[in-house]
Amino acid sequence: MIVVMKSGAKKSEIQSVLKKIKEIGLKPHVSAGIERTIIGIIGDERLFKKEQFSMLSGVENVIPVLKPYKLASRDFKKTTTVVNVNGVNIGGNNLVTIAGPCSVETKEQLLKTAHIVKKAGAQLLRGGAYKPRTSPYAFQGLGKDGLKILAAARKETGLGIVTEVMESQDAELVAEYADMIQVGARNMQNTKLLRTLGKIKKPILLKRNFSATLNEFLMSAEYLLSGGNENVVLCERGIRTFVEYTRNTFDLNVIPVVKQLSHLPIIADPSHATGRQDIVIPMSRAAIAAGADGLIIEVHTNPAEAFSDGDQSITPSMLEQLMSEVQAVAHAVGREM
Amino acid sequence: MIVVMKSGAKKSEIQSVLKKIKEIGLKPHVSAGIERTIIGIIGDERLFKKEQFSMLSGVENVIPVLKPYKLASRDFKKTTTVVNVNGVNIGGNNLVTIAGPCSVETKEQLLKTAHIVKKAGAQLLRGGAYKPRTSPYAFQGLGKDGLKILAAARKETGLGIVTEVMESQDAELVAEYADMIQVGARNMQNTKLLRTLGKIKKPILLKRNFSATLNEFLMSAEYLLSGGNENVVLCERGIRTFVEYTRNTFDLNVIPVVKQLSHLPIIADPSHATGRQDIVIPMSRAAIAAGADGLIIEVHTNPAEAFSDGDQSITPSMLEQLMSEVQAVAHAVGREM
Amino acid sequence: MIVVMKSGAKKSEIQSVLKKIKEIGLKPHVSAGIERTIIGIIGDERLFKKEQFSMLSGVENVIPVLKPYKLASRDFKKTTTVVNVNGVNIGGNNLVTIAGPCSVETKEQLLKTAHIVKKAGAQLLRGGAYKPRTSPYAFQGLGKDGLKILAAARKETGLGIVTEVMESQDAELVAEYADMIQVGARNMQNTKLLRTLGKIKKPILLKRNFSATLNEFLMSAEYLLSGGNENVVLCERGIRTFVEYTRNTFDLNVIPVVKQLSHLPIIADPSHATGRQDIVIPMSRAAIAAGADGLIIEVHTNPAEAFSDGDQSITPSMLEQLMSEVQAVAHAVGREM
Amino acid sequence: MIVVMKSGAKKSEIQSVLKKIKEIGLKPHVSAGIERTIIGIIGDERLFKKEQFSMLSGVENVIPVLKPYKLASRDFKKTTTVVNVNGVNIGGNNLVTIAGPCSVETKEQLLKTAHIVKKAGAQLLRGGAYKPRTSPYAFQGLGKDGLKILAAARKETGLGIVTEVMESQDAELVAEYADMIQVGARNMQNTKLLRTLGKIKKPILLKRNFSATLNEFLMSAEYLLSGGNENVVLCERGIRTFVEYTRNTFDLNVIPVVKQLSHLPIIADPSHATGRQDIVIPMSRAAIAAGADGLIIEVHTNPAEAFSDGDQSITPSMLEQLMSEVQAVAHAVGREM
């Protein structure tokens, strides 16, 4: 942590800062510049609060030097984490594709889609049983019945199941059925849910909130990791910006940056990020080219009649085209698929 | 809903749209323009999905005409709602001030602060027992013990209690202690929590999420209202933008806009919105001048040592100054305080 | 400037940084922390480039300590600047109101409006002769003829004239007619224009660009000040965010922050910021309550037929109401109007 | 254009809207819904102003149906435009790479870089002679001397020259030297510059402003096209968002969307968009995978000592790596390079 004193700070004000640093048991390091004095605080800056200094008289600014996350950082663990989901590795040289409908609607629909997903070459099946919807009047998911349908689809196709949990009290139930538990964007900072999932030994797909900074995103991963669950896969799914032609702005830049800062795998969700069926394929190619470890894609046998998110769901034939186009890009960047 | 056909859409494509409209039991209204044909759909557009048309061949765009919320709209209820919290009216001519620490830390601290808050003229006491924190290593709140301390403070001062609930399973417990239950910004779209609180008859303080559009904000209120709870107070607490000098961007513009569109009262939280102690007072004045029905303010006896949010907490003497300055502005805009 | 070394940086890498600092003629100050070494650079950080260090091997981050602007900062000049425009002071205890149409349309329209503006109590007349329009098919302003009409209005009413210049080659011409020259939001970083206006001795109204950070805004002022023109008034006119109910997001928070960091006066433009006639009045009140030194307001005798910006122009009777409501707030915050 | 009446609008209010529509010489089309009446206006909506209706009594909203741009739209011209720059086609099956330093610094530096750029396989040379800088104290470019150095580099290497113009009065001079004239992000809405360049027959590289919506971006192209210059290449270079780990947010989503809406080619600038040397390569791959027609890349022989933008400039050896990696992706998406 670096304390920047105001230009013209009094000697006594500098003394107060030094006294405070020593009180906490840390070591100050004073640099008296021409315009300002700056004071480095040596020691673990996670153990005290910025405000203990920022509010002292004569202090202009307090600048953190360390990253707030530790277990999620590549400094802590140099090798990339590989997460095994029902026999499918995420984070290694092979790319993963997770596909399926936004919501589990009926058993028939899901089984049909599961076969399509499998045939297209995707390795995991997605489908929501609990749905966070903007409108109280919209379809809210089938709940436990949906989980059972997902399990039936796994039985029939062998595809591992990825599904969302929305509250800590449902975590155990969802964990019984799912191979990978999704934390949705709206729940990225639901700390109680994160704590609960930290204690469950199922892989977690942690989606970035629309307005999450990178520190916030990785701190949510830190909740899971510090709780004891190391099987965390990150997912970029769009940020909220002024842009009007996509539902959110798919921020592919985060992918190479996360690769530098963290050892966790990261996949991309072009369906939710763009909200547009018609650009899901090019943006899937772009995500892989940027270095993503895989994709999660919404597919529906009849998007116009989907219970939710029809606008962004691709058709089965588009999924086949997507798989083939993405595979070409994967090979171009030295990945298998 | 208005269906805009592509320039050069075929007759058969237009026919398909018309057929679909009739299938659903609605009435189409065709306007053949020079460049494009547009088709108005007459009937309740909440009963079908945009995608049922947007995905049809030849359709360029589908434009909703109605607002997605109903019970929260001023069209539905012309008179402004007044919510009674422990004898204090929110939404009438009198402004409300809710003040207190970010977190309940100790009984001593809270009681001391409660007396300060009362003396300064605020009518309700805030304090968090359950705290949503970015870091798993930060103080997470005292939980039920915190609720008990809040109840003790009410007993001693008579001030009604405003405190946050983070999960549906804690709702009943919090409702036992609180006079007004806060839904935090991170939980604005926690639909299970909203459904649970819709059935509880305690007033709700619904905070706007950092990245919520106005429709999303009012749709979250709609969850509460459609569940049967009419005692909803909205709260603006900053949106996430590119701006770097405030923690969030305090969006006062939403206040006069909400007043037009909804009958619900709206208060403002300059502490969280700005994250800066040093501008809480001017921005409080501005919020009242913009038409807010009240303020929620973080105050701490020693901000530098606060367990959370010290940077934005004002001191007791600043609270007194704030109350006096805000009162002058309140009178200037014809409100009592 | 502070150079933060990577965790595990080699001794030789640290040595290279120290060598570089000394080469430039500055003094390094090393603090060897537990996880990282940080190196303070003492001396004027405006004289070298961040990249000279950020690209060295083993460097994680380079953090500037000083603000990039100097002449615009309150460190440089403690007393608030007061700018005199045709006898009207901006920045003192008295608030200024600048009002008028978006565009100068006809002589008759402008003279009529000028009388309305004067009668309502505004002190300066605005009106665009050069208009930056999004569409090439929209009205682009009357140019020099517009300037002449503005001069005629000044002659008849005595009101000083505020009008925009869009290119450096028009600066002298506009300066002949105007009492205050406006730099529009789209030109805030037109450096050639800023350099030219720095040499002209007319007061400048510098509007903040939609996406300008505070540093960028004040650096544009620095262009003017460093060129020799000290008569600079800043203007907040909205930033671009995800928000959909206002044209831009009127960021009143910048006002108290600018007051701390800079000695320059700052006024607010609720008309352009909100783009909504129906909330101009409450947001004008809010701007003054936040501490703005004045307002610039679009008024039109018939907004529906305005050549530009009709949606945000208020009517003459609304201007009278605005002046009276704002005056009450001004007195509440200890300002005259 | 569609006029949505308020719920409960009076008959007389509807009559006023109809009267107005007929006055302008257009045809109204009334749809009386259950909750609201909507009125379609048939005819060219570019010929009247939204405000002529939005301000009428009883009107809730006016929704434009047509896109504001015409010449830039794919409706107007079905085939993709191919722009020839010094013998290099932009917009066809072959991808273009434009590379070079941010600023022209010295003749020696530029010639050296030009040879590197050519050897790496890039087809056009970029370099700024006029530089828009945030700080008045920063290097502002060599001006005409810089143009001469660029011309010398073309003579020696045969590479066409891409360089920026900042003001309309410099347009002719820059056009004498450049093969393609760049309009920088800060000048995207400098309408006088756009008008001037519309009359010059040199290819234009039009960069998207940080905060430009797609309509605004294409409307700036419309200025050029409507002026008579059809040789317009668009360029995505990042938008301003809350994100802190890249200088701007590189918005690759715009690429497939522009391809649908416009016939103009679009290239991508990962250097300015990300501001980070270390992610320029992956984001270049992603841009091509998303469908961009080419790249513009900053390269410097010694980024740490670059006069400007060193943080984002790649080294010559990185450029070679970039070319080889991008070529692989180009082939994967069926493009030549």
Phi, psi of D325 (to 5 degrees): -70, -40
Whether D231 and D293 share a structural domain: yes
| Interface check A321 vs D, CB under 8 A | no
Task: Measure Cα distances from B262 to B188, B237, C47, C245, D329 in Å.
Answer: 17, 18, 55, 14, 52
What b/e sequence results for C190-221 when a residue is b if at least 16 CB atoms lie within 10 Å of its CB, and e otherwise?
bbbbbbbbbebebbbbbbbbbbbbbbbbbbbb
H or E element in which residue B236 lies? strand B232-236
Task: Give the per-residue pLDDT at A114.
Answer: 97
| Interface check C266 vs B, CB under 8 A | no
Query: B245 vs C252: CB contact, 8 Å cut-off?
Result: no
Helical residues (DSSP H) of chain D, grouped into ranges: 11-23, 51-54, 107-120, 144-157, 171-177, 191-199, 214-227, 254-261, 270-274, 280-290, 316-332
Choice among A212-226, B80-94, C33-47, D174-188 with the minimum mean pLDDT: C33-47
**Hey, what are B271's tokens?**
């502490």
Whether D122 and D182 share a structural domain: yes
Query: B134 vs A168: CB contact, 8 Å cut-off?
Result: no
Of the partner residues D51, D166, D306, the one whose CB lies closest to the CB of residue C304: D51
- Over residues B104-115, the mean pLDDT reads 96
Q: Which of C252, C280, C312 to mutate to test the interface with B (most CBs of B within 10 A)?
A: C252
| Interface check B4 vs D, CB under 8 A | yes
Residue C70 maps to a domain: no
Residues of chain D with pLDDT under 70: 45-47
Binned at pLDDT 50, 70 and 90, residue B193 comes out as very high
ipTM of the complex: 0.94
Task: Give the per-residue pLDDT at B55.
Answer: 82
| Interface check B285 vs C, CB under 8 A | yes
Binned at pLDDT 50, 70 and 90, residue A32 comes out as confident
Query: C328 vs B325: CB contact, 8 Å cut-off?
Result: no
Q: Which of B65, B73, B244, B245 to mutate to test the interface with D (most CBs of D within 10 A)?
A: B65
Whether B278 and B174 share a structural domain: yes
Q: How many helices (H) and strands (E) does chain A have?
A: 11, 14
User: Is the pLDDT confidence value at C41 over 90?
Assistant: no
| Three-class DSSP category at D91 | coil
Of the partner residues D55, D166, D306, the one whose CB lies closest to the CB of residue C304: D55
- Over residues A24-38, the mean pLDDT reads 82
Q: What is the distance between the alpha carbons of residues C329 and A266, in angstroms, rounded to a whole number?
A: 52
Whether A123 and A206 share a structural domain: yes
Choice among A96-100, B29-33, B142-146, D202-206 with the minimum mean pLDDT: B29-33
Q: DSSP readout, A54-109?
A: HTSTTEEEEE--S-S-STTBTTT--SPP-EEETTEEESSSB-EEEEE-SB---HHH
Q: Which of C139, C165, C135 is nearest to C150 (CA)?
A: C165
Q: What is the distance between the alpha carbons of residues D19 and B224, in angstroms, rounded to a whole number?
A: 43
Residue C270 maps to a domain: yes
Q: What does chain A come to in residues?
A: 337
Binned at pLDDT 50, 70 and 90, residue A236 comes out as very high
- Over residues B248-268, the mean pLDDT reads 98
Chain CA centroid to CA A11, Å: 47
Which residues 78-97 of D are in CB contact (within 8 Å) with C? none
Task: Give the per-residue pLDDT at D137.
Answer: 87
Whether A57 and A101 share a structural domain: no
CB A289 within 8 A of CB D329: yes
CATH of the domain at B166: 3.20.20.70
Residue A78 maps to a domain: no
Which letter does DSSP use for residue D48 in this model? S
Task: Give the per-residue pLDDT at B46.
Answer: 66
Task: Give the per-residue pLDDT at D46.
Answer: 66
Task: Give the per-residue pLDDT at A36.
Answer: 80
Domain that holds residue D59: 2-63
**Hey, what are B133's tokens?**
């924190």
Q: How far is D68 from chain B (nearest CA, A)?
A: 13
CB B8 within 8 A of CB B60: no
Residue A75 maps to a domain: no
Q: Which of B68, B92, B143 is nearest to B263 (CA)?
A: B92
Number of domains chain D is built from: 2
Residue D150 maps to a domain: yes
> pLDDT for A265-315, tens place per residue?
999 999 999 999 999 999 999 999 999 999 999 999 988 888 877 788 999
Task: Give the per-residue pLDDT at A35.
Answer: 75
Residue C214 maps to a domain: yes
- Over residues B162-169, the mean pLDDT reads 96
Task: Give the per-residue pLDDT at C172.
Answer: 96
Whether D308 and D176 share a structural domain: yes
Whether D111 and D146 share a structural domain: yes
Q: What is the distance between the alpha carbons of residues C123 and C115, in angstroms, rounded to a whole number?
A: 11
Whether D108 and D212 share a structural domain: yes
Q: How many helices (H) and strands (E) does chain B have?
A: 11, 14
| Interface check A251 vs D, CB under 8 A | yes
Q: How far is C135 from chain D (nearest CA, A)?
A: 6
Residues of D in contact with C199 (CB under 8 A): none
Query: B168 vs A169: CB contact, 8 Å cut-off?
Result: yes
Q: How far is B35 from chain D (nearest CA, A)?
A: 8
**Within 10 Å of residue B87's Cβ, how many Cβ atoms?**
10
User: Is the pLDDT confidence value at A215 over 80?
Assistant: yes
Residue D32 maps to a domain: yes
| Residue of higher predicted confidence among A137 and A86 | A86
- Over residues B277-298, the mean pLDDT reads 98
Q: What is the distance between the alpha carbons of residues D119 and D114, in angstroms, rounded to a whole number?
A: 9
Binned at pLDDT 50, 70 and 90, residue A46 comes out as low
Which residues 99-138 of B are in CB contact (within 8 Å) with A? 132-137
Q: How far is B286 from chain C (nearest CA, A)?
A: 4
Q: Which of D57, D135, D199 to mutate to test the interface with C (most CBs of C within 10 A)?
A: D135
Strand pairing report for C59-63 and C204-207:
unpaired
Return contacts of B105-110, CB within 8 angstroms, 24+ apart. Answer: B105/B142, B105/B306, B105/B307, B106/B149, B107/B149, B107/B152, B109/B301, B110/B149, B110/B150, B110/B152, B110/B153
**Letter for the amino acid at A215?**
N
Q: Find residue D62's DSSP bridge partners.
A: D3
User: Is the pLDDT confidence value at C304 over 70?
Assistant: yes
Q: What residue has token string 């303010």? A: B297
Whether A48 and A89 share a structural domain: no
Choice among A62-76, B167-181, C160-174, D218-232 with the minimum mean pLDDT: A62-76
Query: D253 vs A250: CB contact, 8 Å cut-off?
Result: yes
- Over residues B37-43, the mean pLDDT reads 82
Which residues 41-80 of C are in CB contact (within 8 Å) with D? 46, 49-56, 68
**Within 10 Å of residue B201's Cβ, how many Cβ atoms?**
10
Q: How many helices (H) and strands (E) does chain D have?
A: 11, 14
CATH of the domain at D35: 3.30.70.1140
**Letter for the amino acid at B59?**
V
H or E element in which residue A316 lies? helix A316-332
Q: What residue has token string 């910004």? A: B185
- Over residues A169-177, the mean pLDDT reads 96
Task: Give the per-residue pLDDT at C25.
Answer: 84
Residues of D in contact with B4 (CB under 8 A): 65
Q: Which of D26, D27, D42, D73 to mutate to test the interface with B (most CBs of B within 10 A)?
A: D42
Q: How many helices (H) and strands (E) does chain C have?
A: 11, 14
Whether A213 and A132 share a structural domain: yes
Query: C136 vs D219: CB contact, 8 Å cut-off?
Result: yes
Residue D75 maps to a domain: no
Whether B45 and B87 share a structural domain: no
Binned at pLDDT 50, 70 and 90, residue C46 comes out as low
Q: What is the distance between the alpha carbons of residues C249 and C237, in angstroms, rounded to a whole number?
A: 8
Of the partner residues B55, B168, B216, the one whose CB lies closest to the CB of residue A303: B55
Size of interface C-D (CB pairs under 8 A): 123
Whether D258 and D134 share a structural domain: yes
> pLDDT for D143-170, tens place per residue?
999 999 999 999 999 999 999 999 999 9
> pLDDT for C99-150, tens place per residue?
999 999 999 999 999 999 999 999 999 999 999 888 898 888 999 999 999 9
* Complete edge-to-edge strand list for the sheet that includes strand D59-63: D27-32, D37-42, D2-5, D59-63
